[in-house]
Structure 1
Amino acid sequence: FPIAKFAAKLAVGYTLDELKNDITRVTPASFEPSIDYVVTKIPRFAFEKFPGADDTLTIQMKSVGEAMAIGRTLRESLGKAICSMEQDTYGFDIDPPVDDEELIAMLGRPYPRRLWHVGAALRRGIPLETVHERTAIDPWFLHHIRVIVECERTIGKGRRGVVPGAGLLRWAKRNGLSDRRIAQLVGVSEEAVRTKRLQADVRPVYKRIDTCAAEFDSGTPYLYSTYEEEDESQVSGRRKVVILGGGPNRIGQGIEFDYCCCHAAFALREAGYETVMINCNPETVSTDYDTSDRLYFEPLTREHVLEVLETESRSGTIVGVLVQFGGQTPLKLAKSIEAAGYRLLGTPGDAIDLAEDRERFGQLLARLGIACPRWGVARSADEAFAVAHEIGFPVLVRPSYVLGGRAMEIVSSDAELDHYMRHAVRASPDHPVLIDEFLPHATEFDVDAVGDGTDVVIAGIMEHIEEAGVHSGDSSCSLPPVNVSRDVLDEIREVTRVLGRELGVIGLMNVQYALRGRRLYVLEVNPRGSRTVPFVCKATG
């Protein structure tokens, strides 16, 4: 319901019965809504960025964003909302390493992980009444969380390494369990669960948000998945492009990527394509029902995105999927989308991986003779110390495949590095830590460009006000740059073009440089839209 639009019309004298409901397009706004779905919102916090901050939740707003999910029941909706958070949790899979007495005491304080710890308490058999007493959460909600936890327990009791049968799978899906969570519980891969689920024909259907419980036809394709019988998706036979949004707002990834998604939808619609948006962030314009032709309010996970793609491919033609406008979130799904047989529009998946994989990218820079700070990759704490000593302190350390400077730190000694490796990250072969030479007193530049695989056009070069080392999302910048020579600008343009051609970038790319003295260093290349794209668009007209 577009509250601002209707409030403005009411203020100038309209009455509700004179205004049409924008969703059904036939009922008046005075028609009492009838809701046959459940919406769950979960706030997204970023206390990991502020280790010293008090994470007690009070009347002061401390969240940086939120995820929203829609389901036929609370359990289904809650399970999808947890998956939408993008915090590496896919169900009630967090159990604090404390005894029951300490856990009960913890629950008396509101904090970001309390929802998961409530599930842990109920799993341990702590009475629902005790949990209610400590948390003041209504028993109705606690009952549904207990049902989800019992469902997880039942799935986990099955044979290790064997995916449950069709009946148990359908029951689990109706209780909001994701493929990833089922895989964790039985000790198999997510792909094994998906394969068994498809073989057993356990598939979601899509329902429409219509405010009238399907009493009237809805002209607005605003869809959510559920494990029921009747499908209301009414897929069209048009040529269509699927756009993946950015998920919940967080530090480093927010509304600027939504700007890119919306303008992509507007341009594609003008070009005659049907636009299909997948996103789970209620704070965005991309999740307005009239931004795209079809909106799927779904988590941005492999499971949910592939289900939407399969549904949309039943009729018409999916020309391709756009992953470069939603920040880091869609890029993580690029390989899975290509592996499922769908075409990525823009930069190919391998080129994305080449830019994101520090070792491959470092080899590319060495081959091209392009300077970059000395760097190394560590898959254990011992490797991290060896790399840091080889480069020399101070060094910049961060996890791989992250956005927004999460867990990025400048360390100047063995003691600081030891603290970082113990508390900030868990290095492993699958999650290496990147270690770069830190360039003090350097000036950083952001470059946004667009390429077609051959030619690269520079859209804007921005000079950071703060020195290199302050994350680009936290730094002010100037467009055009003011404290740099024409020769350096020419070098930036040339290197950007070379990198765009070598990577085969089709669409947007962002390159970050550092200038120390007269030497230019490439810090990183992002083969996607960046947070500076809206600024460049508006500043350059």
Structure 2
Amino acid sequence: HSGDSACVIPPVSIPQKHIETICEYTRKIAIELNVIGLMNMQYAIANGTVYVLEANPRASRTVPLVSKVCGISMARLATQLMLGKKIADLGLEHKKIPHFGVKEAVFPFNMFHTVDPLLGPEMRSTGEVLGLADSYGLAFFKAQDATQQPLPSEGTVLITVADTDKKSVVDVAREFNNLGFKILATEGTHRLLANNGIETEHILKMHEGRPNIVDAIKNGEIQLVINTPAGKLSKYDDSYIRKAAINYKVPYITTTAAATAAANGIAARRDGEAAVRSLQSYQGRIL
């Protein structure tokens, strides 16, 4: 569900040509549907093509966060439009955002230790937080901190991923290795990383014997879990890894994209203090 997603403004991974396409599609759809006020669009990009998923003539709960990052009171402007003003009357113009804002969803899984925290089409988040910083990595780090899932600055990271994520996890593991983290990996991931010159220590899955992943989590030997789900067709259920992480308050990550962002965040946090600044000081630099 899109409400469970994390996002960043300005975008860091969308090519300019796709941003231009998104702007063009949004403008055309808003005009054709005669939308007056706010409109919530959802897009997907696959194989170099931009697809429209939804066009909703309403606000979303992310609007207040976008307003804070961009320094624009979107709800106020939308109200003025609905009361008869024209967009041309509002004096809006494109501006460069010199900072980054990361929105992260907040989940209630810490209160439901037996529930697998995998996401799907039903929204599970119960709130949102915002991290602001001069770099994307530090903004991501601050957002995770706000969700009460703070990223560790050192220690041991467990990496165990599904076969479909094996290719992308190599760069993730290399980043954590460069940051000085000790890496524990299950057999398939351990073999893959060793073949790519990344030093890891093999750890057993629960059905393979002891001491295993759950033992290590329980004993405080793991500070971060990176586990992409094997899926329902897998011979063995791997939800016990994510449940153990929740039960023992170890931050966990279930996608390689988030793992990459986490590595960037930890690196950025090491480079500088996550200083507290007023929202107005960020907005005052938007030109």
Shorter-chain TM range is 0.3 to 0.5
Q: Considering fraction of residues, name the structure with more helix.
A: 2
* Greater length-normalized contact order (CA 8 Å, ≥ 6 residues apart): 2
Whichever of the two has the greater Rg, that structure is 1
Query: What TM-score, normalized to structure 2?
Result: 0.38
